[in-house]
Amino acid sequence: MMHLDLIQLSRLQFAFTAMIHFIFVPLTIGMSLLLAIMETVYVMTRRVIWKEMTQFWGTLFGINFAMGVATGITMEFQFGTNWAYYSHYVGDIFGVPLAIEGLMAFFLEGTFIGLFFLGWQKLSKPAHLIVTWLVALGSNLSALWILIANGWMQHPVGAYFDFHTMRMEVSDFAAVLFNPVAQAKFVHTVSAGYVTGAVFVLSVSAYYLLRHRHTEIAKRSLCVAAAFGLASALSVVVLGDESGYLAGENQKMKLAAIEGMWETEPAPASLSLFGLPNQQTHHTDYAIKVPYLLGLVATRSFNEPVLGINDLVKNAEVRIKKGILAYDALQHLTTHPDDQAAEKKLSTYSADLGYALLLKRYTDKVSDATPQQIQAAAWDTVPNVPALFWSFRIMVACGFFFIFLFATAFVLSVKQHYKHPLFLRIALLSLPLPWVSAELGWFVAENGRQPWVIDGVLPTFLGTSSLSSSAVLTSLIGFVLFYGILTVLELYLMVKYIRLGPQTA
């Protein structure tokens, strides 16, 4: 059996809990807005069938929301238990949006979800509609604060390293809040959630139409899902372009790895449709490329190059050497805190301090690192290229498939040709794809910034707690059992209530 050390186990535990939790999150985001749309139609038309639709899909939404809360609570505790140094180092910045998200989820979202289920007989139609829209707002705002926190991990802005406290401190909270990477991640992620909700409604509706059950509700649900899903799928592609541009600006290594681009090409760079990246030979075999496209997406220009992995590794070596100067100054300031020359030196090279910390994997004496150790640390900045290359392409393929799926559904809805057996079967079989795409998207986002837990600031291997591997392994086994039970329970309840169907008057 492969030996797993503390760092690998800590990463594996967080990755497992995060990916299971994200099974529930996108459906919650997407379904909340679909419920608001359906109830709006009910209030405007006063047709009872739209109320029945809202209540039926609301039941499935409620099951999913409860599981999302149960799996999400435990994740936040891992920052203190498994990632104590990370929490100490950046807690003043990362903790603020995380705390606000908790307040949003438990007070705004939780309160109005209770009113949504209990208020059908106690609230007026307009008042209940407002509650439903507030549920949707709460779901989206909850995601916003999580993605602000995650966006800062991808692109740390509005903060500085304070040698007095030996921590990162906030210098501009507005910059953290309006971080362009965080904002792009938010709109891209919630749009993907809308696609997930729309595919779910479309697939279940297709199931009913194939079984000739609840056809009136299924037809209307399919229409809503088709229109909403088509707009959402198109927006995911457009917003993905913005994410590509920001990666080209702020996370060049991630972009180069996604493209399997080892050498810098003349501008504008071409985009790879297919290839076999080889991490050992530093070459991508059998590459099929579209000329100019990557350069236009990543730089939005015809003359700005997209750096390849080999050149980015050379840049990392330069930054490591500068970071050593910052590390030397910091070491001096620990014993001579009033030395202004050392403080100025640290300030000059502080942006590269994180790169010097990469050397701690190879030596405790960072200042005396050998050229070979510097080179090895520089190559550590290269993530798993084949995994990123293929994960990204499968995700993109799913995205374009969703556009085709919803466009077909929209045309059939307009023509009122609902009972098209081949399309309905394809729609039903498409049910898992939004989750496949979403999980791959998070894999690309998180694995693509390795070896950093805070990009360019704190290496992942330095962020863990002082725990034994056996302790983390024990908790990981516990999480696998707990999350596995919740996932099975979610599937059981969802299938049960889908089979029961809407409770019509």
| Residues constituting the chain | 505
Amino acid residing at 404:
F
User: pLDDT averaged over the chain?
Assistant: 92
Residue 183: which of 71, 97, 272, 304 has the closest Cα? 97
Total Cβ atoms within 10 A of residue 473: 15
Distance CA 198, CA 203 (A): 8
The 10s digit of each residue's pLDDT in 475-489 is 999 999 999 999 999
Q: Burial level of 123, CB count in 10 A (0-12/13-18/19+)?
A: middle
| Confidence band for 72, pLDDT divided at 50, 70 and 90 | confident
Model pLDDT, residue 181? 92
Rounded alpha-carbon distances, angstroms, from residue 366 to 356, 385, 400, 403? 7, 28, 48, 51
Task: Using the predicted structure, report yes or no on whether residue 260 has a pLDDT greater than 80.
Answer: yes
- pLDDT, average across residues 31-51: 96
- pLDDT, average across residues 171-178: 94
Model pLDDT, residue 1? 30
Total Cβ atoms within 10 A of residue 336: 12
Distance CA 169, CA 160 (A): 5
Contact 253, 385 (CB under 8 A): no
Q: Residue written as tokens 């799996």?
A: 71
Model pLDDT, residue 422? 95
Task: Using the predicted structure, report yes or no on whether residue 247 has a pLDDT greater than 90.
Answer: no
The 10s digit of each residue's pLDDT in 287-339 is 999 999 888 888 888 889 999 999 999 999 999 999 999 999 999 999 998 99
Rounded alpha-carbon distances, angstroms, from residue 258 to 252, 279, 321, 395, 466? 10, 13, 27, 12, 33
- pLDDT, average across residues 131-159: 92
Strand partners, 278: 283
Model pLDDT, residue 430? 97
| Confidence band for 371, pLDDT divided at 50, 70 and 90 | very high
Distance CA 18, CA 194 (A): 19
Task: Using the predicted structure, report yes or no on whether residue 109 has a pLDDT greater than 90.
Answer: no
User: Residue 296 contacts by C-beta under 8 Å, 6 or more apart in sequence?
Assistant: 268, 302
The 10s digit of each residue's pLDDT in 408-418 is 999 999 988 88
SS3 459: strand
Task: Using the predicted structure, report yes or no on whether residue 21 has a pLDDT greater than 50.
Answer: yes
| Confidence band for 123, pLDDT divided at 50, 70 and 90 | very high
Does this model's pTM top 0.85? My answer is: yes
- pLDDT, average across residues 262-285: 91
- Look at 227-236, 242-251, 255-264 and tell me which has the smallest mean pLDDT: 242-251
Task: Using the predicted structure, report yes or no on whether residue 505 has a pLDDT greater than 70.
Answer: no
Task: Using the predicted structure, report yes or no on whether residue 238 has a pLDDT greater than 90.
Answer: no
- pLDDT, average across residues 339-366: 94
Task: Using the predicted structure, report yes or no on whether residue 504 has a pLDDT greater than 70.
Answer: no
Model pLDDT, residue 503? 80
Model pLDDT, residue 410? 96
Share of the chain above pLDDT 90, in %: 79
Distance CA 239, CA 179 (A): 15
Alpha helices in 430-505 (DSSP H): 433-447, 469-500
| Confidence band for 4, pLDDT divided at 50, 70 and 90 | low
| Confidence band for 75, pLDDT divided at 50, 70 and 90 | confident
- pLDDT, average across residues 177-182: 93
Task: Using the predicted structure, report yes or no on whether residue 106 has a pLDDT greater than 80.
Answer: no
Model pLDDT, residue 224? 96
